[in-house]
Chain A
Amino acid sequence: MSTLRRHEGYLIIDHRESPGVTPELVQQRGLDPNPVIVGKNQVYESATVTCSHCGAVVILSPTRQRPRHYCVKCDHYVCDKPECGLECNPWMKKLDESDLLIKS
Chain B
Amino acid sequence: MAKWSFSNPTWTPTAVGDTATMTANGACGILGGSASQFIKTMEVEIGGQATGSSPMIFVVARDSTVAATSITLGTNGKNAPLSAFTAALAAAQVPFFSATTMPQRAATLHLLQLSFNAYGGLVRWLAATGEEITQYGTAVNVGEISLSCFTGGTMGAIATHLVYEPD
Contact = CB atoms under 8 A, between A and B. Distances in A.
Interface residues of A, number: 42
Contacts of A25: 55, 57, 115, 152-153
A57 to B, nearest CB: 4
Interface residues of B, number: 41
Interface string A1-20: 00000111111111111111
Nearest to A31: B113
B139 A98 contact: yes
B133 A55 contact: yes
A89 interface: no
B125 A57 contact: yes
Q: Which 8 A-B pairs have the closest CB atoms?
A: A18-B120, A17-B120, A18-B121, A50-B131, A14-B122, A21-B55, A57-B112, A95-B136
B53 interface: yes
A14 B118 CA distance: 10
A21 B53 CA distance: 9
A9 B125 contact: yes
